[in-house]
Each structure stands twice: as structure tokens, then as C-alpha cells.
């Protein structure tokens, strides 16, 4: 299908609605969109390819858009296979096209494909430009957003940033590709934060470096490799990225992550939630056994306070809590206030183990620990009241 986005920039990407796990790891209940763009100018340029899963639709879209014109350039911003899997196919079909990419990306493309595209490649670095006619692209290095080879490009005629994985999101909107037509900002924010925090989250400094470069440009459109295209309100997306990359919470409330075996630890988590509600402190409870960790990591980027409640299990924490904490550490989120609730019938040790596990995180661990002995008795209720009061002291 030929699908114009604006000016002479066309959409040739596609979505995969049958895949349930992105990278075989992250749930994508509404599928995943692999964006690719084609600029039709004096010279034609395809900006990135797509995932193997959407091969037929993607190649047909290019054909429908070019309508017999030759393809002059294939520009590759990011060599991860969800965007580079179809490079060989494109270069096979469009035999005179030149591959334009960073030197490191070329190395990765050759490694993945088992071929050597060096003779067909023009390598570019930060500051290099490529004129297509009316449109001109300038390249900006964006290492570790999300791999080391990544470049983004700025198109000066339309003030468009082709941002690679940055500003991408999970899911595939029905119908419109454009932010101006999407149903609401919250749906973009939730899935973009989940994508960001789980995939790029630990590279906050690199994202900040890219944002600093972008701040010198007049950006009116952002075209990422996944999800919605920002045809307006780019400042909204940039302000969210600014918060996430600096690990600034969007919500001063409390995320309560709990595991429970016989509902007693859940009772403690629910009691804390109820007490916080009485104090008008926003909070959210999440059962780690029934919530994919990617959603909880996203919540950890959103909330300022995190309380983790775990039964003691083999003298340690509950296994699913350990799995969550392992991801939390890898996300590299900093500046959170973290508290603990432990439960144990004869030797409660979950809190000490959780604290030790997280000890090298840059976080505030000063909240009082709650110890539940099997079930919540009066002493336990008092401890949870104290914990709620300690959290509330920040709100007064
Ligand atoms: Fe969408 Fe890092 O690939």
C-alpha cells in the first residue's frame, strides 16, 4: 500500500499482530509496529527495513510507493534485526541502491547477514549530510540508544527527526499512525514508558546526550522505528523522555509490589494501600505472580516510592520477587525511596535478603521495615501504620 504521512515522506512499515512476545520476552497484547519510511525526492531513500515477520507486506509497500522508480539509498539507523532483517532482501531487489549507515552498523549488518556489503555502503558519522533534492538528512550519533552503532537523522526541510528506537512504543495503534489522531496520551505514555524502561532504561546518560543534541534542532515531527509517529506535540514526547532518562518520577505516590502464598502478605500490602488512600497518597498494588515484570519495571520508573512485600522462602525472598529485583537492578533506575514488608512464620529473613540484594542501588532505604509473623496481628498493623506515616511525612 502507498501511504503518505506528510510532504513526500511515506510509510512503508507494517505491524505484526500475531506475535505475543517482543524479543521473546516482553508481552505485546496489541502486537508490534515496525516503522520504515520512504522519502520520494530527486533521489529516493528508504529509512530502515523491518522485522522478518512482516517481510511480504513491507516489500509490497516499497514497491507500491516507488511505482517503478529506482531506490537510490537504503539508510540504516539501527542494526538490530527487528529493523535490519530485510536489508539483504531490499538490496537484492534494488540492485543499484547504496547502503548508508554507521561503520559499526555495517559491521553488525555483515555479521547478521553472513554477507559483506562494504562495496555497496557509504558510511556516515555525526555531522555528515545526505542530500536527496529538496530534502536533506544530517546524521547524529546516538550510541546505546539502544545499541552502540545507532545513528539518528534530522531532515531539515520538514524538521523531522528519524529517531531510531528513541520515542518508540510497544503495540500497534489501529488505523492512524499519527499522534494527532491517537485516542489519548495515556495509552502512548504507558506503552512508551514500558518500552523505554525495559529496553533503553539503563542507558539514561546516553539518552540524555541525544536529547541535548536534539535540543539544538527545531523538531516538528518525530518518526521512531516503533509505534506512533509524532506529527505534532513533539515537546510532549521529549518532556517524557527527559524525565525517564533522568530517572525523575512522574508520580510521587507509592508502588506496592507484593508476592503472596496464602494471602497474608497481600493483606499487609492492601492494608498499606488503604492507609495511604486515607491520607490521599496515590498508590498502586501489583501482585508479582500475576503481572509481567516489564509492567512493574515501567511502574518503578513512574513512581517515587516503592514498597516490596515478600514472604520468606527457603530463608530468602520469594523467587518471583527475586526475579523482579534482578530486573529492577538491571534497569539502573535511581533516586527511589524503597521500603520492605517481609513475612515469615518462624524465621522471617526476606527483608534482609531484599535489602542486601539491592544494596548497590542508588536509593533511599530509610523507610521502616515491616515484619509480619504469619498473619497481620495488632503489632503488624502498628508497623504498617508507622510505614504509612513515614511515607506520608514526605507529603506534608
Ligand atoms: Fe527496535 Fe533496538 O530495536
Block means of pLDDT (10 residues each) for the chain, 396 residues, are: 96 95 96 97 98 98 98 98 98 98 98 98 98 98 97 98 97 82 82 97 97 98 97 96 98 98 98 98 98 98 98 98 98 97 97 98 97 97 98 89
Nearest-atom index, ligand 1, CA of 225? 1
Nearest-atom index, ligand 1, CA of 164? 1
Task: Count Cβ atoms below 10 Å from residue 349 Cβ, excluding itself.
Answer: 16
Q: How far is the CA of 146 from the centre of ligand 1 (A)?
A: 7
Q: How far is the CA of 242 from the centre of ligand 1 (A)?
A: 20
| CA–CA distance, 66 with 386 (Å, rounded to integer) | 67
What are the strands, taking DSSP E only, across 124-171? Answer: 129-131, 136-141, 151-155, 160-162
Local structure of 218: helix, strand or coil: coil
| CA–CA distance, 372 with 266 (Å, rounded to integer) | 11
Within 13 Å and on the Cβ side, how many CA atoms surround 312?
Answer: 20
Q: Do the Cβ atoms of 145 and 210 come closer than 8 Å?
A: yes
Q: How far is the CA of 34 from the centre of ligand 1 (A)?
A: 9
Nearest-atom index, ligand 1, CA of 34? 1
Q: Is 146 in the pocket of ligand 1 (CB under 6 A)?
A: yes
Local structure of 320: helix, strand or coil: helix
Nearest-atom index, ligand 1, CA of 199? 2
Q: How far is the CA of 132 from the centre of ligand 1 (A)?
A: 26
For position 286, what pLDDT does the model report? 98
Q: How far is CA 358 from CA 198, 330, 334, in A?
A: 18, 11, 11
Local structure of 201: helix, strand or coil: helix
For position 114, what pLDDT does the model report? 97
Cell triple for residue 114? 553472513
Beta-carbon contacts of 272 under 8 Å, excluding residues fewer than 6 positions away, are 254, 256, 283, 307, 309, 341, 370, 384, 387, 388
Q: Do the Cβ atoms of 77 and 151 come closer than 8 Å?
A: yes
Alpha helix (H) residue ranges in 215-313: 234-245, 264-278, 293-302
Q: Is 320 in the pocket of ligand 1 (CB under 6 A)?
A: no
Q: How far is the CA of 165 from the centre of ligand 1 (A)?
A: 5
Which residue's CA is minimally distant from atom 3 of ligand 1? 80
Beta-carbon contacts of 304 under 8 Å, excluding residues fewer than 6 positions away, are 249, 251, 252, 253, 254, 336, 337
Cell triple for residue 373? 509473623
For position 355, what pLDDT does the model report? 98
For position 174, what pLDDT does the model report? 65
| Percent over 90 (pLDDT), the chain | 95
| CA–CA distance, 273 with 22 (Å, rounded to integer) | 32
Q: How far is the CA of 347 from the centre of ligand 1 (A)?
A: 45
- What is the phi/psi pair of residue 216, to 5°? -85, -5
Q: Is 77 in the pocket of ligand 1 (CB under 6 A)?
A: no
Alpha helix (H) residue ranges in the chain: 55-66, 81-84, 87-93, 103-113, 185-195, 204-214, 234-245, 264-278, 293-302, 319-331, 350-358, 378-392
Q: How far is the CA of 357 from the centre of ligand 1 (A)?
A: 30
Q: Measured between alpha carbons, how far apart are the two ends of the chain, in Å?
A: 57
Q: Is 225 in the pocket of ligand 1 (CB under 6 A)?
A: yes
Q: Is 149 in the pocket of ligand 1 (CB under 6 A)?
A: no
Q: Is 165 in the pocket of ligand 1 (CB under 6 A)?
A: yes
Beta-carbon contacts of 140 under 8 Å, excluding residues fewer than 6 positions away, are 126, 151, 152, 153, 154, 210, 213, 214
Q: Is 48 in the pocket of ligand 1 (CB under 6 A)?
A: no
How many residues in the chain?
Answer: 396
Q: Is 336 in the pocket of ligand 1 (CB under 6 A)?
A: no
Q: Is 83 in the pocket of ligand 1 (CB under 6 A)?
A: yes
Amino acid at each position: 500500500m502507498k501511504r503518505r504521512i506528510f510532504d513526500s515522506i511515506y510509510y512503508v512499515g507494517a505491524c505484526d499482530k500475531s506475535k505475543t512476545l517482543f524479543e521473546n520476552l516482553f508481552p505485546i497484547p496489541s502486537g508490534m509496529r515496525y516503522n520504515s519510511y520512504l522519502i520520494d525526492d530527486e533521489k529516493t531513500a528508504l529509512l530502515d527495513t523491518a522485522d522478518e515477520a512482516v517481510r511480504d507486506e513491507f516489500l509490497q509497500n516499497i514497491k507500491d510507493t516507488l511505482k517503478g522508480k529506482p531506490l537510490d539509498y537504503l539508510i540504516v539507523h539501527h542494526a538490530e534485526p527487528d529493523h535490519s532483517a530485510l536489508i539483504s532482501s531490499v538490496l537484492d531487489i534494488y540492485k543499484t541502491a547504496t547502503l548508508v549507515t554507521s561503520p559499526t552498523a555495517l559491521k553488525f549488518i555483515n555479521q547478521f547477514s553472513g554477507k559483506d556489503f562494504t562495496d555497496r555502503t557509504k558510511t556516515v558519522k555525526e555531522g555528515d549530510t545526505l542530500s536527496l533534492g529538496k530534502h536533506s538528512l544530517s546524521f547524529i550519533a546516538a550510541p546505546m540508544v539502544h545499541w552502540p552503532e545507532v545513528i539518528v537523522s534530522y531532515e531539515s526541510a520538514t524538521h523531522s527527526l528519524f529517531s531510531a528506537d528513541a520515542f518508540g512504543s510497544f503495540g500497534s495503534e489501529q488505523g492512524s499512525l499519527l499522534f494527532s489522531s491517537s485516542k489519548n496520551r495515556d495509552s502512548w505514555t504507558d506503552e512508551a514508558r514500558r518500552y523505554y524502561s525495559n529496553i533503553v532504561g539503563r542507558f539514561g546518560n546516553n539518552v540524555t546526550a541525544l536529547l541535548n543534541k536534539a535540543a539544538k534542532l527545531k523538531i516538528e515531527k518525530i518518526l521512531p522505528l516503533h509505534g506512533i509517529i509524532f506529527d505534532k506535540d513533539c515537546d510532549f514526547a521529549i518532556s517524557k523522555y527527559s524525565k525517564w532518562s533522568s530517572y525523575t518520577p512522574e508520580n510521587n505516590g507509592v508502588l506496592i509490589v507484593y508476592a503472596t502464598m496464602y494471602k497474608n502478605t497481600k493483606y499487609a500490602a492492601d492494608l498499606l494501600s488503604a492507609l495511604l488512600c486515607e491520607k490521599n497518597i496515590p498508590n498502586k498494588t501489583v501482585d508479582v505472580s500475576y503481572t509481567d515484570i516489564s509492567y512493574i519495571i515501567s511502574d518503578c520508573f513512574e513512581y517515587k516510592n516503592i514498597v516490596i512485600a515478600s514472604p520468606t522462602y527457603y530463608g530468602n525472598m520469594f523467587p518471583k520477587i527475586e526475579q523482579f529485583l534482578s530486573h529492577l537492578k538491571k534497569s539502573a533506575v535511581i533516586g527511589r525511596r524503597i521500603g520492605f514488608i517481609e513475612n515469615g512464620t518462624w524465621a522471617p529473613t526476606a527483608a534482609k535478603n531484599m535489602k542486601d540484594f539491592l544494596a548497590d542501588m542508588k536509593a533511599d532505604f530509610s523507610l521502616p521495615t515491616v515484619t509480619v509473623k504469619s498473619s497481620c496481628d495488632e503489632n503488624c498493623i502498628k508497623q504498617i501504620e508507622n510505614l504509612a506515616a513515614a511515607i506520608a511525612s514526605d507529603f506534608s
